[in-house]
């Protein structure tokens, strides 16, 4: 069995933003030379997310609006976590809503997606470097 590991480093200038990372993951699949297997993609930070959905600007706007209504950033005093001097309690909760990771099948050397599926990194507490793990196993 083959395995492949790579970390992507991202630095998102906004507090909350969604970034399509499908192309970077596809490059890793090609580099790995794995034809049949699984690809794990996960955020290595507890205030960001990786998820699969459609790459449609209106949908990303809707995600942003939904998350801010569900878990608003301000007032920061509403969260006990922020009593420590942090201001990112909302980012931790947003990550729980959007998810930590995705696993995608690799078939014939390609990510085996359904229609419109793409892989996204969701940043909820940006403005600093963060890592995304891509791990592939297979033959």
* Total count of domains within the chain: 1
pLDDT digit string, tens, across residues 76-125: 999 999 999 999 999 999 999 999 999 999 999 999 999 999 999 999 99
CATH number of residue 96's parent domain: 2.60.120.460
pLDDT digit string, tens, across residues 5-25: 999 999 999 999 999 999 999
Beta carbons within 10 angstroms of residue 71's beta carbon: 19
Range of the domain at 49: 2-138
Predicted confidence at residue 103, as pLDDT, reads 98
Predicted confidence at residue 96, as pLDDT, reads 97
In sequence order, the β-bridge partners of residue 103 are 40
| Burial (0-12, 13-18, 19+ Cβ within 10 Å), 83 | exposed
Answer whether the bond into residue 75 is a cis peptide, omega within 30°: yes
Residues 6+ away with beta carbon under 8 Å from 121: 10, 18, 19, 21, 43, 48, 49, 50, 132
**pTM of the entire predicted model:** 0.96
Distance, C-alpha 63 to centroid of its chain: 13
Share of the chain above pLDDT 90, in %: 100
For residue 12, the number of C-alpha atoms closer than 13 Å in the C-beta half-sphere is 21
């Amino acid at each position: 069995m083959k395995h492949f590991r790579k970390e992507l480093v991202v630095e998102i200038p906004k507090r909350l933003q969604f970034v399509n990372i499908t192309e970077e993951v596809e490059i890793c699949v090609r580099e790995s030379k794995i034809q049949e297997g699984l690809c794990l993609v996960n955020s290595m930070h507890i205030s960001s997310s990786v998820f699969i959905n459609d790459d449609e600007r209106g949908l990303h706007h809707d995600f942003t609006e939904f998350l801010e209504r569900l878990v608003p950033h301000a007032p920061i005093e509403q969260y006990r976590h922020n009593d420590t001097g942090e201001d990112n309690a909302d980012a931790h909760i947003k990550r729980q809503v959007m998810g930590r990771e995705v696993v995608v099948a690799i078939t014939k050397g390609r990510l085996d997606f359904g229609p419109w599926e793409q892989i996204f990194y969701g940043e909820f507490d940006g403005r600093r470097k963060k890592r995304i793990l891509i791990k592939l196993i297979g033959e």
